[in-house]
Amino acid sequence: MATQVLSGGALRGDAPGGINPVGIMPGFVTRDGVTVLEREPAVRNPEPSRRYYFYMMAPAIITLAAISLYPFFWLIWMSLHDVDVMAGDKWIGLKNFERLFTRDTKFSNGWLLLIQYSALCLFFEVVLGVLIAVLLNRSRWEKVLVTVFLMPMMMAPAIAGLVWYYLYNGTFGWYHWFMQSVGLLGETSILGSPSTAMIGLVLVDIWQWTPLIVLITLAGLKRVPRDQLEANMVDGAGEIRNFFQVVLPNLYPFLLIGILLRFMDNFRFIDSVLILTGGGPADATNILPVYLFDVSFQYFKLGRGAAIALTLLVVTIILGMFLVKIFDSPAARNVGRTEG
Amino acid sequence: MFYVPKNAIYKRIPRRKFLELGGGVATALGAGSIAVGLSSVVTRNPVQAASSDDAKWKQYSGTKLVFMSENTPPSFAIRENLKPFYDLTGIEVEILTDDLPVVQQKVGIDLRSGKADFHLNYVQDKPIGAPFADYFANLNDFINDDTLPQDPDGMGADAWFENFLDACGTMYTRDRLIAFPYDSAVACTFYRQDLFEQHSPDFEKEYGYRMEFTNDTTWKNVYEFAEFFKKLRAAGQDVPYGYAQHQGSFAWTAQLDIQRLMFAHGQWTEFDVDDKLGSKEPGPTRWGDEASVFLMEKWKELADVAHPDNLANDTLQLNTVYQAGQIAMQVQYHEFAASIEDEKTSRAAGGKTAYAACPKGEASWIKNGGQAVNGTNCGIGGIGINNNASDDLKRAAYLFSVWSTSKDTQYNVLKGVGGTPTRKAVMDMPGVKEARQRPTDMPNALTFDAVYDYGIKDPHFVLGPKIPEANEYYQIILTEVQKCLSGQQDPAATCESIRDQVDDLNDI
């Protein structure tokens, strides 16, 4: 195919149809086999002033400030006050934080439980999600099964919580009856004992959110380079070795996205926890977001609630940044590239 | 204003079109605002003291009100039958219902933010009344206003069942009245009479007295009934557990559950304050004293012979357990009798269940030198008026408060969906007296002897603790008692932990 390389002046007037009429990007090969190397408008626009940029950005900045920055600063303000509409807000400095860090055992316990809950959910969801995705990948029933697996994820967490509340119910719950029949439970239901309630919550989260990991992993599996797989097989690798040496490293950035999403969700979604246990029994499932909800909207201690929310926000941002940094690491970026 | 290339491929919006679009958006926003605003429209036709009752009822015709209520039978029934009120007043009322914790949040946010999205609020005595008492209008102002219609049976304490007006209407001061009693849930004992009669001979052989429930049945007897049934189960007999507690996730009813035992023994209360009035500064709590530790030990002993899923049994779930025939006895709120007597859903229906007062204190368990009583507590749901609303809206809301708590309305609810009246006069309405005996078409009336004729009266009735931090207090009780019942801490440590947290809560 003959390739005509256009540049500079050619684009200004010589090309059929005038100058690069639809804004073809440099490097693009047109139907006529012309490779566009650069694009220069016939008339250069004057360099916009700084005020021009300001006007352009102002709506976005104002909107962002209204929906994000203002509540953030308001949260900080509340955390430093005893918030009371009738008596008036009273400045109390760092007292809310002092209380949290010195004598509020529910706060420290809430953190520990949140970490435990998130870690258990993430571990099982990632392991099961990858396993299910590998089994589904390129199987004959992939599309049908993926649709079926995705159904729990489509359910609102509050509805999922209600469904499982009834399934776990000690009087008429089918899962309770089943677990009792196979000897996993005694007469106490899974949510009725401090030693098993957390397991009950984790199972619900796994049921609902493993499909997300399946979906993300399946997307990753489609992008595993065949040449790497074939090269590894030429070197004598079997299915399992191939999985660990080629597939899994290639899934790395995809799994990181999944972990990041699930991690953030676990810090935010408390619908099913509120419905299933409300944080009990004996605070066994009183993860920090549930405690935050209670403090703010059951006890209406908005100042203390703001202090808890602020700590949660800071930790979430730090951990999020940490995960993004891993995501941005050379190891993650190089995945999928064939060396040499 | 901005540079636009001559050959720009996007479509220009002419100035006229832009103005048209802007106008359309503004119109839509305006219409939306009006639609939202319509929920609180108020119109007024001035009346005087000498005006007719009809004119007084109609003075706010055309007004729209919103009532945020718990999903209780009266609210459902009244929502389905608002036409008589509309015919009487010309006022439209939108009744929104939800679970109590949600109502508490919504009402709390509305009141504390200075708004009046809900002009009328369900004032569940302690969970809503105690924390938000200052945000409700003083109903005394309306009772004494001769330009407003009043109920012919009166709105004073004598018109309601004993202690009911104090329970939901009086918080911290007698100068203000924040709610009228709208519905009630009073604790009493539900027990399987058929099983008690069947096993009484065997029980008597072992314990030396008949297995029956009277006003003198004590908590010690309850323990022995439960122990007896548990032994039968252990011996392989197909019998239910004897007893179960409300120690599930609903903190308020978990607190009420243990409160009944505590109050029954020497009228023990959490604070040294007037129980009917409550206090914003209740002072040091009594939790941790000898009586509380001893009774916590007894509570744990009771739990050990009770239904094993106690920590999952909140109020509704406990009732389900009883309906399913898994327990022979429960201390439950009398509004649940209708569900127990429903043969479609309950194995305890059909005359198997009898109703009695709450268990009495056991003399040998009293450590504070007080009296043994049938410790009975309640949730008296009031109807209150948001003080943030305008004066006219508050007056219009008062009309609904009067109508919704009237004798006729309560009687219709009792007949229709099984309400729980708060007005004494309802007892004299046709058929109510007869309905107290089987067969009955008002199953809740089967509890009236135990509740209205006995349990709610002094010295058995306990109303508190009315403190602004009531909801956090309940959560502390629930958590620590659950730790005790699950064996994570002993009764003494439980009471001490409660004491420390409650005193910290009240800035002691």
B490 contacts on A by Cβ (under 8 Å)? none
The CATH architecture that domain A100-333 belongs to is: Orthogonal Bundle (1.10)
Q: Kindly report, residue by residue over A275-326, the tens digit of the pLDDT.
A: 999 998 999 999 999 999 999 999 999 999 999 999 999 998 888 888 878 7
Specify the pLDDT at position B46. Answer: 82
Q: Which of residues 200-259 of A touch B (CB under 8 A)?
A: none
Q: What is the DSSP string of A301-332?
A: -HHHHHHHHHHHHHHHHHHHHHHHHHHTSHHH
What residue segments make up the domains of chain A, in order of their start?
4-36, 50-98, 100-333
Q: Kindly report, residue by residue over A171-212, the tens digit of the pLDDT.
A: 999 999 999 999 999 889 999 999 999 999 999 999 999 999
The beta strand positions in B59-119, using DSSP E, are 64-70, 92-98
ipTM here: 0.87
**Is A277 within 8 Å of B131 when comparing Cβ atoms?**
no
B250 contacts on A by Cβ (under 8 Å)? 278
| Alpha carbon of B284: minimum distance to chain A alpha carbons (Å) | 19
Interface check A49 vs B, CB under 8 A: no
Specify the pLDDT at position B129. Answer: 97
Helix axes B290-304, B491-505, angle to 10 degrees: 120
Q: Kindly report, residue by residue over B479-491, the tens digit of the pLDDT.
A: 999 999 999 999 9
The C-alpha angle with vertex A125 and arms to A279 and A258, in degrees rounded to 5, equals 105
Nearest CA in chain A to B309: A188
Secondary-structure breakdown of chain B: helix, strand, coil percentages, each rounded to the nearest 5: 50, 10, 40
Mutation pick from B9, B475, B488, B501 vs chain A, by most beta carbons of A within 10 Å, is B475
| Alpha carbon of B480: minimum distance to chain A alpha carbons (Å) | 7
**Is A192 within 8 Å of B309 when comparing Cβ atoms?**
yes
Are B95 and B121 contacting, i.e. CB atoms less than 8 angstroms apart? no
Interface check B99 vs A, CB under 8 A: no
**End-to-end CA, chain A:** 29
Specify the pLDDT at position B288. Answer: 97
Indicate the CATH number for domain B53-185+379-435.
3.40.190.10
| Identical topology for domains B53-185+379-435 and B186-378+456-505 | yes
What residue segments make up the domains of chain B, in order of their start?
53-185+379-435, 186-378+456-505
CA-wise closest residue to B171 among B136, B203, B143: B136
Nearest CB to A193 within list B109, B311, B321: B311
**pLDDT average, residue stretch A62-82:** 91
Nearest CA in chain B to A282: B479
* Of A18-32, A40-54, B362-376, B470-484, minimum mean pLDDT range: A18-32
By DSSP bridging, strand B180-192 and strand B329-333 are antiparallel
Interface check A17 vs B, CB under 8 A: no
Specify the pLDDT at position A2. Answer: 42
**Is A186 within 8 Å of B308 when comparing Cβ atoms?**
yes
Interface check B504 vs A, CB under 8 A: yes
Element (H, E) at A91: strand A90-91
Tell me if residue B180 falls in helix, strand or coil. strand
Helix axes A197-221, A142-154, angle to 10 degrees: 140
A280 contacts on B by Cβ (under 8 Å)? 248-249, 311, 478-479, 482
Q: What distance in Å separates the CA atoms of residue A17 and residue A9, rounded to the nearest whole number? A: 14
**Residue A19 binned pLDDT confidence (cut-offs 50, 70, 90):** very low
A299 contacts on B by Cβ (under 8 Å)? 469, 471-472, 475
Q: Which CATH number fits domain B186-378+456-505: 3.40.190.10, 3.20.20.70, 3.40.50.620, 3.30.300.20?
A: 3.40.190.10
**Residue A335 binned pLDDT confidence (cut-offs 50, 70, 90):** low
Enter the tokens of residue A338.
């064939």
pTM of the model: 0.86
Interface check B320 vs A, CB under 8 A: yes
Interface check B507 vs A, CB under 8 A: no
Tally DSSP H helices, then E strands, for chain B.
Answer: 19, 7
| Alpha carbon of B10: minimum distance to chain A alpha carbons (Å) | 12
A283 contacts on B by Cβ (under 8 Å)? 479, 482-483
Residue tagged 């107290």 (tokens): B436
Q: Kindly report, residue by residue over A131-171, the tens digit of the pLDDT.
A: 999 999 988 888 899 899 899 999 999 999 999 999 999 99
Interface check B440 vs A, CB under 8 A: no
Count of other CB atoms within 10 angstroms of residue A22: 7
Q: What distance in Å separates the CA atoms of residue B419 and residue B187, rounded to the nearest whole number? A: 15
Nearest CB to B486 within list A170, A279, A281: A281
**Residue A337 binned pLDDT confidence (cut-offs 50, 70, 90):** low
Interface check B489 vs A, CB under 8 A: no
Residues in Cβ contact with B156 at an 8 Å cutoff, skipping those fewer than 6 apart: B143, B165
Nearest CB to A193 within list B9, B249, B486: B486
**pLDDT average, residue stretch B102-129:** 94
Tell me if residue A36 falls in helix, strand or coil. strand
The beta strand positions in B236-328, using DSSP E, are none
Of the CA atoms within 13 Å of residue B482, those in its CB half-sphere come to 34
Tell me if residue B381 falls in helix, strand or coil. strand
How far, in Å, are B72, B78, B168, B331, B357 from residue B442 at the CA level?
A: 16, 17, 25, 20, 19
**Is B249 within 8 Å of A192 when comparing Cβ atoms?**
no
Please state, rounded to an integer, the average pLDDT across all residues of chain B. Answer: 92
Are A266 and A121 contacting, i.e. CB atoms less than 8 angstroms apart? yes
Nearest CB to B483 within list A85, A172, A282: A282
Interface check A24 vs B, CB under 8 A: no
